[in-house]
Amino acid sequence: MKPPTETDLLPDSAEAAAVENPAVGIDQSAGNFSYNMEYAFDAGTGLSEDTIRYISSVKKEAPWILEFRLKALKKFLSMPMPTHWATKDLENIDFQKIRYYLSQGQKPKRTWDEVPDDIKKTFERLGIPEQERKFLAGVEAQFDSEAAYSNIKEIVSKQGVIFVNSTEGLREHPELFKKFFGKVIPTGDNKFSALNSAVFSGGSFIYVPPGVKVAQPLQAYFRINAENFGQFERTLIIADEGSEVVYMEGCTAPKFSTSTLHSAVVELVALKGAKIQYITVQNWANNVFNLVTKRGIAHEDAEIKWIDCNIGSRLTMKYPGVVLKGERARGEVISIALANDGQHQDTGAKMIHAANNTTSNIVAKSISVGQGRSTYRGVVHIPKHLKGCKNNTECDALLINTNSRTDTYPAISVRGDKNSTQHEASVSKVSEDMIFYMQQRGLTEGQAMSLAVNGFINDLARQFPMEYSVELKRLIDLEMEGSVG
Amino acid sequence: MSQLEIKNLHVSIADKEIVKGLSLTIKGGEVHAIMGPNGTGKSTLSKAIAGHPDYTITSGEVLLDGVSILEKEADERARAGIFLAFQYPSEIPGVSIANFLRAALQARLADGEEIDASGYYKRLYAKMDLLKIDRKFTSRAVNDGFSGGEKKRCEILQMAMLEPKVALMDETDSGLDIDALRIVADGVNTMRSPELGVLLITHYQRLLDYIVPDYVHVMYDGRIVKSGDKTLAHELEAKGYDWIKKELANAKA
Ligand SMILES: Nc1ncnc2c1ncn2[C@@H]1O[C@H](COP(=O)(O)OP(=O)(O)O)[C@@H](O)[C@H]1O
Ligand SMILES: [Mg+2]
């Protein structure tokens, strides 16, 4: 391999910021660098059956997986783009110009010392090894298509917890994998879940045995390094009866001039009495199409909570969902979206009640800045035959500058009179007077806007693990500083 | 000792002239009261000095310690030592007073310098004790759902913490009952020092019983039309503003 040549795309000041490690490593200014890599495995540009056969063969997959992929490709090709309800911007994705698989190998390293230098340097700059030492039970670091590093602390693996990337998961735990894979989100759920099912690579596979409560969070970090690339990780988390796990993911990519596609599928299964908390703080560069399908099934007395922070990207379409399958199951989506100039955050939540006495809670806060656009799109479904089900939905939008746009499509269908729902929505503005008031106390315009935004999401940010709320605040500070003319 | 000089200041809003040639010098240690009927331009004067973007200064000068502040942004003026206690303070939902003040003080430090948290809270609590403000107050979001009196107290607390060179206090007495007024006045009186110049904007004489001014100015139609000592305030209280208006009309005729 050639020695890495750094191609830094930012002026000096941002470079200086990149040197100090951010707390959780999703700082975009720190993320805006890339290495010129030669990839040992490259599926080339464009999508065809051959692309899929290539991916499957380098991964040495079982025949059923190749079958699964090829069927998914057919499904993908047969489905129309959802431009009619979402946005015409989707038409600008050229699937034949994307690279679907790039890697240095299919087996992640267990120690950072074994990770190739340039990849190791990437994650060091993002602060990942340091965080791992400090507060994580395990880390998986994906670089383009495959995990370069994956490790779990011995104390956790001794409890029987499995935390590997999906390529390894399929190879080493096929029975467990197959039992749940594609069951929460079927291939044809939407066009992008079909695409992911055809070309998926990387992502995490987690299994937590009955009664095991993983004390520290497991973290995955998804890094896009290559231009014109599509990242299609596939994550499956199974929390067995009475177990508990917190999973966090962070994502970054450098700012390229051409568009990049990130299209993940994440499936969660919380068996009886289990608890899964899934936290995302992502800060994509504003050329990334981020089209992700996330859903969990909560069995009896189980609880699934999605905490989803979307900052950056050109277009994000993401509606984490919970199917409340067992009695007294609980589902929650806490979502924060920040749409800056040239960005569209189309986010929301889905709660499908399928058993009695299930409860769901959705709190969505969006911030639109300048020309930024944010949309809340939600589905809450409680069928007539159920009783004792409850939903609470709260959507708050904050507008900064008059051009910002916000739309709310709550779509709550609650049938029958034995269930209850509560829905509140608000739109507020950061007024010129409010900014002046803060400036009069000595804050710059950027600091003032940042403080207003942090105040707006304060009640939600408090629910995050410390490291992540600190990081979120930093990201907002950076976004707001950058949005001042 | 610092000094704010306002020289022949003209201020317009949306091409309408509101302040029409106003001159005034406030030295450290002095309290100047400006009184005048509603709509005469008192708030406009204070906001223009503080740098509100809606207010255009068409001519004149404002110097702080001999240096013009008119080219500076509002936040630079604030950091240079100008404090405006607002007639109608803004609400900042979700941001506690403690965090807000901390951010304001942090903004005054050099890049890379961090505020010392324990020192900050010690100072904050000392100022709150001085102003007889309950400890719980600063965990509330800035002005969010505050009564008129609470808003004014919040302004005074900020002023105490930020230690400006010049404080422009716009109708700080409005919305206060007599007890609250006394507390606010006590606060300002304890802050009186050669380091601080105060411009006290008020509609009523009442406040001036508690904060005794060194000078009283009457503002009318964008100008100072009469200046004197505290006895002028009593005269205004007794006779109302019509007396001034008549005097002006006679002078013109
Ligand atoms: N933002 C504004 N836009 C337009 N006119 C304003 C604005 N603020 C004040 N004015 C006008 O300027 C004049 C002076 O107002 P103001 O300075 O608030 O007076 P005072 O504080 O003495 O009561 C009034 O005629 C008022 O209507
Ligand atoms: Mg006024």
CB-based contacts of A485, cutoff 8 Å, min separation 6: none
Q: List all residues 6 or more positions away from A98 whose beta carbon is below 8 Å from its beta carbon.
A: A45, A46, A47, A228, A229, A230, A261
To the nearest whole Å, the CA of B139 is away from the closest chain A CA by 13
Q: Please list, in sequence order, all residues whose beta carbon lies within 8 angstroms of the beta carbon of residue A372, skipping any fewer than 6 positions away.
A: A338, A339, A340, A341, A342, A343, A344, A345, A404, A405
Burial A125-161 (b: 16+ CB within 10 A, else e): bbbbbebbeeebbbbbbbbbbbbbbbbbbeebeebeb
Asked if A457 lies within 8 A of B54 by C-beta distance, the reply is no
**Is A270:A297 a contact under the CB 8 Å cutoff?**
yes
Mean pLDDT, all residues of chain A: 88
B84 touches chain A (CB under 8 A): yes
Residue B80 at interface with chain A, using a CB cutoff of 8 Å? no
pLDDT in tens, B108-142: 999 889 999 999 999 999 999 988 899 999 999 99
* Higher per-residue confidence, B77 vs A311: B77
- pLDDT tens-place string over residues B46-64: 999 999 999 999 999 999 9
B18 ligand 1 Cβ < 6 A: yes
Question: Does the pLDDT value for residue A114 go beyond 80?
Answer: yes
What pLDDT does A283 receive?
A: 83
Report the chain B residue with the minimal C-alpha distance to residue A458.
B94
**Is B74 touching A (CB cutoff 8 A)?**
yes
- Selected residues 319-338 of chain A with any CB under 8 Å from a CB in chain B: none
Decide: B202 in ligand 1 pocket, CB within 6 A: no
Q: Over 70: is that where the pLDDT of A25 sits?
A: no
- Digit-coded pLDDT (tens) for A329-343: 999 999 999 999 889
In the structure, what pLDDT confidence band is assigned to residue A403 with cuts at 50, 70 and 90? low
Atom of ligand 1 nearest to the CA of B170: 21
Scanning B2-61 for CB atoms below 8 A from A yields 50-54
Reported as a single tens digit per residue, the pLDDT across A458-484 is: 999 888 877 778 778 888 888 887 777
Look at residue B176 in the predicted model and tell me its pLDDT.
83
| pLDDT reported for residue B253 | 66
In chain B, % of residues over pLDDT 70: 100
Nearest to A442 among B90, B95, B107 (CB): B107
Q: Which residues contact A279 (CB under 8 A, 6 or more apart)?
A: A217, A246, A247, A248, A249, A307, A308, A464, A465, A468
Answer yes or no: is pLDDT of A12 > 50.
no
Secondary structure of A2-62 in HEC code, one letter for each residue? CCCCEEECCCHHHHHHHHCCCCCCCCHHHHCEEECCCCCEECCECCCHHHHHHHHHHCCCC
Residues of chain B contacting A459 with CB distance shorter than 8 Å: 94
- Backbone torsion region of residue A211, taken as left when φ is above 0, otherwise alpha when ψ lies between -120 and 50, otherwise beta: left
Structure tokens at B158: 């900020």
Q: What is the ipTM metric for this complex?
A: 0.96
- The per-residue pLDDT for A19 is 31
User: Residue A311 contacts by C-beta under 8 Å, 6 or more apart in sequence?
Assistant: A28, A281, A282, A283, A284, A337, A338, A475, A476, A479
The reply to whether residue B93 touches residue A428, judged by beta carbons under 8 angstroms, is yes
CA of A257 from ligand 2 middle (Å) equals 52
Over the stretch B168-189, which tens digit does the pLDDT of each residue have? 999 988 878 888 888 889 889 9
A229 versus A17: the higher-pLDDT residue is A229
More confident residue, B125 or B205: B125
Q: Which pLDDT value is given to residue A415? A: 82
**pLDDT for A6:** 35
B104 → closest Cβ in A441, A455, A459: A441
B172 lines ligand 1 (CB under 6 A): no
Q: What percent of chain A has pLDDT over 90?
A: 62
B12, B13, B172, best to mutate for ligand 1 pocket (most atoms within 8 Å of CB)? B13
Confidence of residue B154 (pLDDT cuts 50, 70, 90): very high
Task: Give the domain ranges of chain A.
Answer: 28-318, 439-485
In this structure, the residue with its CA closest to atom 2 of ligand 1 is B13
Any chain B CB within 8 A of the CB of A454? yes
Asked if the C-beta of B112 comes within 8 angstroms of chain A's C-beta atoms, the answer is no
- Determine the residue of chain B that is closest to A461 in CA distance: B94
Is A458 at the interface with chain B, CB within 8 A?
yes
Residues of chain A with pLDDT > 70: what percent? Answer: 92
Would you call B95 and A439 a contact, using CB atoms and an 8 Å cutoff? no
Of the candidates A79, A72, A293, the one whose C-alpha atom is nearest the C-alpha of residue A185 is A293
CATH assignment, B3-91+165-252: 3.40.50.300
Q: A241-259, pLDDT tens digit by residue?
A: 999 999 999 877 777 777 8
A189, pLDDT greater than 80: yes
Which residues in chain B belong to E strands, given as ranges? 3-13, 16-27, 31-35, 55-64, 67-68, 82-85, 166-170, 197-202, 215-220, 223-228
> Any CB–CB contact under 8 A between A463 and chain B?
no
How far apart (Å, rounded) are the C-alpha atoms in residues B95 and A112? 41
